[in-house]
Structures are given as structure tokens and as C-alpha cells.
Amino acid sequence: MNRNTSWSELVNPLVRSIPWSGIRKFFDLVTETPGVISLGVGEPDFVTPWHIREACIYSLEKGYTMYTSNYGLLELRQAIARDLQSTRRLIYNPENEILITVGVSEGLDLAMRALVCPGDEVLVPEPSYVSYAPCVVLSGGRVVSLPSTMDSGFRISAEQVAASITPRTKILLLCYPNNPTGTVMDRQTLLEIAEVVRDRNLLVISDEIYDKLTYVGEHTCIATLPGMKERTVLLNGFSKTYAMTGWRVGYAAGNADFIGAMTKIHQYTMLCAPITAQMAAVEALQNGGPAMMHMVQEYNRRRLLVIHAFRDMGLPCFEPGGAFYAFPEISGTGLSSEEFARHLLQEEKVAVVPGNAFGSSGEGFVRCSYTTSVESLSEAFRRMARFVKARGVQPKTVNVTVPDVSYLIPPAAEEAAG
């Protein structure tokens, strides 16, 4: 090997082909600016509830510092199985149908690597979380984007899925409630998509990390639909629901053979998720209900403030039914997503994430997370309102029709509410 050869040329072309996350680029800019109110944070502002932290400290005192089974602590897998049974009526065998992963991120990577063969196509809705496409590419697969627009509430449709299928299509990735749009999928649309998936013999990898953070209607887990459990890998974790992002603990649930295949990779590359985090996760599932409900209620109140604030300042904003993000359209300012984010940061010291970081269909939008205090949110909106007004956006006039989310409310519930 020639010593003068540069490292970048030696890097695997697949790795070279994937870009740095658009968020990363923006991150450096934000950290250099003092006094910023950040709406760019993709994690809860709550610190992990004390009872969970305390349980973790106790586990350390008791000397739980060893490896666990490759699958993860059986006690945690059993707690997850019980939770899935009670909340979704899904029955998974904790012995071999649940794998504890290092966050959903690892679960996603394992699922892709265990399934994707070179050239296989994976359908990925867009805008969506930054990791999906790179994970597909690194497994040798090809990403086929399913772009969505505000008119449809950023939902993909069954026709769109069907039209994108080729003989090489193997997987449909689902990611609802969605980061960055906050979109929640309604049951009817999911039923139609499930029909296409069954007819065309696809598999589903469903990242449902925000499932408990659903504010309008009820979350529908794709695995609960007829004939879907056996063709779905369900990914979930503790980061968002229990404010445990830094603990890095998640899980995959699905067919025993397939979970076994994922576990095979996991056993050689990760061995097991950290026992400390797993012990904390057990406590979260056993006693975390009330604290979680409190957080969900708080997010929902902020969500309503946020939607109101954007419409007040004249930015069309689709009502997010879940997660903790709003995705207002900013093209009325005449700026691109990146320009908007950069100028807003420089002029008003408010950080948001450019929508195009989540795929090209996110262009014209920015992601604002409301994981910050009401006080900070209010100040951030005062600054943003000033910023967009200076660019000719008329307050209190939303010209574009923003779709409502009444499709999320079942007719019976609507009557009761009325």
C-alpha cells in the first residue's frame, strides 16, 4: 500500500457515498452562537424520572455490572412482552421473539443487515428520521423514497406504496408517529397499506418509538392488523417515552427466526445492551406509567401552543398528532429551509432544523421541537414572529389550506366529543 494514499480514498465506497447528517452540519453553527433558544433538540427536556435513575444506582450498588444474555435481560424481555400484550394485545414470546438493542438505532441497523441483500429495494417514507436511508445503503440495499406532502398530512398512501413496488422490493419501512412531521397514521390508511404489503409479499420494519406520544386519536401498531404480525419487525425503545435517550436501550420484536438472525449479528458486534440501562428500563416499565402520563400531558399542552403560535404568525402548520415536533411551512418567507434556519439563528438566535435534513420533500419546511419550557417556547415564537414578519409574512393569515386531522378520530369518539 502506498503510504501517500489518502484515508478517504481507502474508505469503503458505500460509506463514502452516504453524506453527513444535515443536522450535524447545523449543530456546529448553533453551538458557536451564544444565547440561543434551541427548538432543534430531538429529545425530551425532562431528565429521566428519579425513580428510574434511583433504580439504576441501586443496581450498581448491588453489583449488576456483568454481561447479560445476548437477547438481553429476561426480566426486561418479559416486562416488554407484558407491556405489548396489555397495550397492543400482541403476544410475543420473551424467550426468542424479543431482542434488547442499543436503542432503536441498533435495532434498525440489525433488521436491515439481517434482511437486505445487495440490490434489494426498501421503501422509505419521506420526510423521515435521518438514519433510515443510510442504514439501507450500508446494508447494500437501495432506498426508494415515498415522498409525502402537507396536503395529505404527510401520510403515505397504499396506492403510492403499490406504485413503488418492483420485483426487487423487499421491505416497507414505517415510522409513525413521525419525526420530523409529527404525523400519526390513521387506522384506515394503515389497513389499506397492510393489504398491499400482504398481496405483494413485503416485510415491514416499523419504528414506533413515539407510539406513546400520540395526542389525537389512538396509535395503531401495524403488527396488530390482520396478517401483519408475522411479517413485521417492530422496533421500539425507552428514549422518548421515558425520557431515557442517553441510556441507549430499545428492542425489536418479531418472528423468532428473524429475531434470531438479528441476535446473531448483535452477539458478534454488540454482545449485549449495557446491563445498567437494561435494569433502568425494567424499572421504567414496572413503575414509569404515572411519570410518563405527566410528560405526555405536558407535551400535548405545548403542542397546542405551538400550532397556535405558527398559525398566528402566518406560517401554515399541519397539526402534528404525535411525537414532539411541529413542521411549519416557511416557503412564504422566500427563503429555503437552510437559509431560513441560518438567518433565524443569526438574527434572532432561535435554532430550528432545516426540513431538507429529513429528505428533499422536507424542503420548504423547518422542524421545531417543543421539548423546552413554555417560557422559552413563548420567547422563541416572539422572535420567530418578528423574523417572518420582516420577510413579508402577514400575521394571522394562513393562505394555504392546512388539512385537519379529523381522520384520526373514530366517528364514535367524535360524537361523544361533540
Partner 1 sequence: MKEVLEILESDARLSAGEIAIMLSMEEEEIQRVIKELEKKKVILKYMTLVNWEKAGEEKVLAMIEVRVTPQRDTGFDAVAERIYRFPQVRSMHLMSGAYDLAVFVEGQNMREVSHFVATKLATIEGVLSTTTHFVLRTYKQDGVILEDGEKDRRLAVSP
Smallest distance from partner 1 to CB 392, Å = 26
Instruction: Output 85 or 378, the one with its CB closest to partner 1.
Output: 378
- Residue closer to partner 1 (CB basis): 231 or 302: 302
Q: CA dist 184 to 161, 176, 271, 365, Å?
A: 17, 6, 34, 18
- In the complex with partner 1, the residue whose CB is nearer, 296 or 305, is 305
State the minimum distance, in angstroms, from the CB of residue 309 to partner 1. Answer: 9
Decide whether 45 or 83 has the Cβ nearer to partner 1. 45
For residue 45, the minimal CB distance to partner 1 (Å) is: 7
Task: Give me the least distance between CB of 23 and partner 1, in Å please.
Answer: 5
| Residue 339: φ, ψ to 5° | -60, -45
| Nearest-approach distance from CB 100 to partner 1, in angstroms | 22
* b/e map 309-340, b = 16+ CB within 10 Å: bbbebbbbbbbbbbbbbbbbbbbbbebbbbeb
Q: Which residues bind partner 1 (CB under 8 A)?
A: 21, 23, 26-27, 30-31, 36, 38, 40-43, 45, 47, 129-131, 179, 301-302, 304-305, 308, 351, 353, 357, 374, 378
- Between CA 342 and CA 350 the distance in angstroms is 9
Min dist CB 9 to partner 1, Å, is: 28
CA–CA dist 107, 111 (Å, integer): 6
Q: In what side-by-side order are the strands of the sheet with 250-253?
A: 98-101, 250-253, 232-237, 203-207, 169-174, 121-126, 142-147
**Residue 316 or 354 having the CB closest to partner 1:** 354
Q: Which is nearer to partner 1, 27 or 64 (CB)?
A: 27
- Cα separation of 186 and 183, whole Å? 9
| C-alpha span between 366 and 328 (Å, rounded) | 6
Q: What are the two backbone dihedrals, phi and then psi, of residue 27, each rounded to the nearest 5 degrees?
A: -55, -45
Rounded distance between C-alpha atoms, residue 134 and residue 22, angstroms? 12
